[in-house]
Every structure is written in structure tokens, then in C-alpha cells.
Amino acid sequence: MKDKFFNYIHELQDTITSGLEKIDGKATFQEDLWKRPEGGGGRTRVIENGNVFEKGGVNISGVHGKLPESMQNYFGVEDADFFACGLSLVLHPKNPMVPTVHANWRYFEMYDKDGNIVDQWFGGGQDLTPYYLFEDDAKHFHQTCKTACDKHHPEFYPKYKARCDEYFYNTHRNEGRGIGGLFFDYCKASDEMSMQNWYEFVTEVGNSFLDAYVPIVEKRKDLEYTKIQRDWQEIRRGRYVEFNLVHDKGTLFGLKTNGRIESILMSLPPHVQWVYDHHPDAGSEEEKLINILQNPIDWV
């Protein structure tokens, strides 16, 4: 399974980066191959200063070795080895009318001292972070997620949509990072779902990513915007940074397993603002977004 999924994310990275380069029309992804001293490595691809994307990355990695003590304590195991692979992407568009997007699909195995698999699971999801709310975009993104989920289980979309709203939440701000999508983790074999079934579900979601995001980019990338709207985008990007550095488990895992720092922090936008005690004007489009982020709704 680990070889099968590792091959899949290699192919998916190629598909996604070529699709995004086509939309941008100017910038291309810079590729960086790296190795982890303890075992494994990855292929980082970063795009910067394009027509559409100010900064973004589509990264894959496959790492293995001794599970660090901090993670052994987290999982409640002793003397364990691990293998983890996944694709993680974040795209920060230049135009504030185009939303930031994040996605991740991953697979994890844990072994005993004899090399036997003692645990394995899939995780992942995709979520949208707009700066200005276009309800058509939110509905399109969520409908694409729901369509992918419904092919595998009728309860997956409502369950993983709710988990996404719960996970990507800045508790210290009492607001969501964005308008959600899907988030699933610890997807293990059961009477209802084999690991092969989970593989088919996760790859279905991965294959849906460009369908979920590209039409939104094409619709919004050429809209005009003002300096005030750009400032608002950068203020909201600050909240994105706060979530990634304070709450995100993936960032934490990377930092605690001696992950590659450039790849881990690739998700951070290049231009950000923190304005003291900032509040949008009453009745404004900016306030409309905040109200939605504080009270997640069902888009489909």
C-alpha cells in the first residue's frame, strides 16, 4: 500500500503542477529534491511571482525511520518505527478576489521492533480560504467535495465537512481559517472499509482537487481590486499564518520529526500584515466574510 500510494502522489503532483502552470501563464514551478538524514526525502515544487499565484507550493515527501520520542509519547507507543508519505499544497494568489487553497493527502504506517505493521491509516482533505466571499465559489468547491465523497459513502461529506470546520478553526480568534471543505484522519481498516477502500476514497478526493479549485481561479483572477482590498487580504493572511504556526498538526509533526524546514514553512504567504485591533466596517463585504467564518454554514 505504501508503494502504491507513493506512486500515486508522484503522478498527482505532476498533474496538479502542470495544471496550475497553465492557468498562471507566466511562472513555473521550481523543483527542489531533498533527502532526510534519518531516512527518506521529498520533491518540493514552488511557484512565485506569477501572473496569478504570488506564492505556492505542491510538495511530496516519503520519510521513514525511528519514531521520535515526542511522537512515541503522542501515540502511546515505545520503540516504534514509521513510514509517512503525502502530498501537501498551498496556493496564495495575488488577486484578493481569488481564494487561497490548501490540500493534503497522506498515508502513515507504524512498525514494531520486528518490522511488522502495527498500525496504518490515511488522512487528508482540501479547504478554501477566501478573502472576499462569492457564494457561487463556496457552493462549487463544496459540491465538488460532496460529489467525490458520495461515490464512497453517503455520510462522508457531512462528517468530514464538519470535521474540517472544527479543525481549521483559530480558537484564539473565535473564527474559522476559511470556509472549509473536507478533513479526515486516522482512516483505518474496519468491517465496512478496507485499506483498499480507503485508498480509492482518498485518491478520488485528490483527483477532484483541480475540478474544485481551477474554475474559481479562472472566474476571479482578472477582477479589479483596490489597495484597501489588498490590505484586507494581507491582514487575513496573518490569520492563516497564526493557524499554521499555532494549531496545525501537520506543521507540528514536521518540526518534531526533523522535517525539511523550507518545505514545512512553504505554506506561509510572502506579504502579510498584523494590524492592531483591526475591525472591518459595519455592513462591509469584509464584515460579511467574518460573520461567515464565525458561524460556518452548509453550502450544499
Residues of the chain predicted below pLDDT 70: none
Give pLDDT, residue 194: 97
* Plot region of 186 (φ>0 → left; ψ -120 to 50 → alpha; else → beta): left
Helices (H), the chain: 2-24, 69-75, 135-150, 156-167, 195-220, 227-246, 249-256, 261-264, 285-294
Give pLDDT, residue 73: 80
User: Which letter does DSSP use for residue 280 in this model?
Assistant: P
Report whether 57 contacts 65 (CB < 8 A).
Answer: no
Neighbouring CB atoms inside 10 A of 293's CB total 24
Q: Which class is 2-294 in CATH?
A: alpha beta
Give pLDDT, residue 102: 97
Give the integer Cα–Cα distance in Å for 255 and 212.
30
Give pLDDT, residue 212: 98
* Plot region of 158 (φ>0 → left; ψ -120 to 50 → alpha; else → beta): alpha
Give pLDDT, residue 264: 84
* Angle between helix 135-150 and 156-167 (nearest 10): 130
Give pLDDT, residue 82: 93
Give pLDDT, residue 251: 86
Q: Which is nearest to 13 in space by CA: 185, 204, 207?
A: 207
pTM assigned to the model: 0.95
Give the integer Cα–Cα distance in Å for 204 and 198.
10
The catalytic site residues sit at 102
Give pLDDT, residue 237: 98
Give pLDDT, residue 263: 81
Domain ranges of the chain: 2-294
